[in-house]
Amino acid sequence: MNIKQQQSQMLSAIFSLEPLQENSAHNLSDVSAAGLSIYQHSLLANASRALAITFATVHSFIGKSDFSQLVKEYLQKHLKTQFDWGELGDNFPHFIKQQSRPNSEVLAAIAALDFACHHTERAENVEKDLTTLSLLNDVGAYQLKLNFAAGFKVIKLDYPADLIITDITNSHKSTKADKGSTHSTLNDIAEQLTDYQKGQYYLLVWRPNFQAQYQQITQQEYQWLALWQSATMTESIEHPSSVQPLSIGGALDKTNQEEFSIIAWLPQAIQQQLIHSISLLTPS
Amino acid sequence: MFSLNKKAPNSLPLIGVGLRHTHFEDAINSPANIDFIEVHAENFFAKGGVSHAVLTDISQHYKISLHATSLGLGSALPAPQKQLEQLSNLIARYQPILVSDHACFSWAESQGLDVHAGDLLPVPFNDESLNIMVSNVKRAQAQLGRQILVENLSAYIELPGSTYSEAEFLVKLCQQSGCKLLVDLNNLIVNAINQPLVTLMAKQSDSSAHNNVLALAKQWLENIPSSLVGEIHLAGCTQVDAQQLMIDDHSQPVSDDVWSLYHFALEKFGPVATLIEWDEDLPSWATLIAEADKARAIAKHVFTNSYLTTDEESTSDKTPEEGEIREY
């Protein structure tokens, strides 16, 4: 067996998260079972710690023990292909959704919002220059573009995760006031999640400074912001000269202006620090 | 036989501490008498956000050392280019005085995917893994535009197929790749304690076991030329019963054995940059800094006083130049 095969076998044995004797397929009888167990515990502990940061709300709602069990099952099904622990978990919400536990779809919506917030908080910083707002008075809308706060994104969820988080957090606060403890489990939370209606909910996530914020938005705002999100993503991936940039005028042309009013939206977006600056389009 | 070592380098080693999230505020608000801060590079792989704001603040007060834990320099499956680029960007941004990673593997193929272990996994010490590690270290140094330090592991499994001792392997690695070593003294102690269990032998329980641990660790150091050592790590870990593997959890003050070994290492290697690592059950900032003060006191004792050594050979491979402070 060459080194490449040896390393593959050892890694597979660790990710099985099962004791050595049950790993006959891994052909590692010549290593210490206790040693392998240390690496397995380390993997689970590190993954639980990393995912507890990324999915902070889910972790706080279901408690450390159930969260670790969920992480163990997740790692057994989804190998870690990222070198950065901060990037682990992109399909954790989908994994939660597929669990046969009651209300796992609702918990998955909370996880999806957690993941969006986590990514927003790690996004590249964006310079803020509100003096550029004056360009709106001086330059035509087809020559201007909006520059959004770091990591801004819009997501579509099956459940109103923002309202659910507020409700459960408030309920935990009252429990703590009454009983002095907020300890809860996956089953406790599953019971609390039964009252929410499945539907289509649109959320905006952005980062005015360092902490991500989120709020529910209308379908019309979602469509308007999705245009900008798509343009921002394309610009960051493609070479600027190969991209047809999105202007304010161009975005408005693609939006149903009977349902969306930029006049009403813009002052609010500026106040919320969703927009960090306005700039002239670079001619393509 | 005792010999009086009168050689005293004109500088002391740089002394630093590993900085973890809990101490960010203390490090900024209560600047300590330390020469550098070491951070885990991967904790700053995000493109932006609060972590960089904090590290930028901290870099105004202290020199930075970047300690990576994810390259997996011994992996037969090489690290993706993106990973090296992220480390390279971090180096460009913070201009660290030291950059290091480990003599381990982390990347391997499983179920048709390139999988990262998220851990420091051991390699056998033979020519096949040496060639792989030399190639990976050279690639990393070319991408990063600088020499890196490679740290010895605490290993809980001994993979079959070794034809060299760990020390021999690491010396060859340095000679063939141009890297230097980050010698973790606690890892040497942990490996010496665990060796009977890791090699599937009965653990020694008689009174000579403890002496053997220090002797094994010192023997390891004896095999490393001074010119190859670029940094020393000091740490402590949870004690365990006989028949249990000791885990290098960095959760305790530096142990007496490690302090003893540090004294020996300074005598042998000269004033090498030294770091206190404490990653679990973190103490107060003041306690952490007190550990750094203790390291400095030992270094002062070694380098500013004439001192007696019971082992004249311990400094025998040192040239006059090597006794001087190294620049990083």
DSSP sequence for B109-170: EETTEEEEEEEEE----SHHHHHHHHHHHHHHHHHHTS--EEEPPP-S---S---S-HHHHH
Min Cα–Cα distance to chain A from B245, Å:
7
Q: Which residues, in sequence order, are CB contacts of A235 under 8 Å at separation 6+?
A: A243, A245
Q: Which residue has the tokens 């009965």?
A: B202
Alpha-carbon distance of A11 to A32, in angstroms, equals 14
Partners of A79 on chain B (C-beta within 8 Å) are: 110-111, 113, 115
| CB contact (8 A) between residue B247 and residue A83 | no
- Are B172 and B128 contacting, i.e. CB atoms less than 8 angstroms apart? no
CA B117 remoteness from chain centre:
20
Q: Is the dihedral of CA A38, A39, A44, A47 positive or negative?
A: positive
Mean pLDDT of chain A: 89
pLDDT attached to residue B224: 98
Alpha-carbon distance of B136 to B122, in angstroms, equals 15
Residue B51, helix vs strand vs coil: helix
| CB contact (8 A) between residue A43 and residue B118 | yes
CATH of B3-323, one of 3.20.20.150, 3.30.530.20, 3.40.1280.10, 2.60.210.10: 3.20.20.150
Pick out chain B residues at pLDDT < 50. Answer: 1-8, 201-204, 306-328
Burial of A2 (0-12, 13-18, 19+ CB in 10 A): exposed
pLDDT digits (tens, 9 = 90+) for A213-266: 999 999 999 999 999 999 988 776 656 566 678 999 999 999 987 889 999 999
Which chain A residue lies closest to B194 (C-alpha atoms)? A35
pLDDT attached to residue A24: 53
Band of the pLDDT at A282, cuts 50, 70, 90?
Answer: confident
Alpha-carbon distance of A86 to B43, in angstroms, equals 8
Alpha-carbon distance of B77 to A203, in angstroms, equals 40
| CB contact (8 A) between residue B198 and residue A121 | no
- Are A205 and A212 contacting, i.e. CB atoms less than 8 angstroms apart? yes
Q: What is the average pLDDT across A91-116?
A: 94
Q: Which residues, in sequence order, are CB contacts of A279 under 8 Å at separation 6+?
A: A132, A135, A144, A145, A147
Alpha-carbon distance of B174 to B99, in angstroms, equals 15
pLDDT attached to residue B306: 47
pLDDT digits (tens, 9 = 90+) for A105-149: 999 999 999 999 999 999 999 999 999 999 999 999 999 999 999
Q: Is the per-residue pLDDT at A188 higher than 80?
A: no
| CB contact (8 A) between residue B197 and residue A82 | no
| CB contact (8 A) between residue B48 and residue A122 | yes
Alpha-carbon distance of A80 to B108, in angstroms, equals 11
Partners of A47 on chain B (C-beta within 8 Å) are: 118
DSSP state of B14: P
Phi, psi of B198 (to 5 degrees): -65, -35
The total number of structural domains that make up chain A:
1
Q: Considering the domain boundaries, does residue A250 fall inside one?
A: yes
Buried b (16+ CB within 10 A) or exposed e, A151-161: bbbbbebbbbb
Residue B229, helix vs strand vs coil: strand
Percent of chain A clearing pLDDT 70 (strictly above) = 89
User: Which segment of A20-24, A208-212, B273-277, B303-307 scores lowest on mean pLDDT?
Assistant: A20-24
Partners of A39 on chain B (C-beta within 8 Å) are: 117, 119, 121, 156-157
Tell me the β-bridge partners of B234. B276
pLDDT attached to residue A21: 66
pLDDT attached to residue B5: 38
- What range does the domain containing A143 cover? 125-160+200-284
Within 13 A of B266's CA, how many CA atoms are on the CB side? 32
Partners of B156 on chain A (C-beta within 8 Å) are: 32, 34-36, 38-39
Tell me the β-bridge partners of B149. B100, B180
DSSP state of B311: -
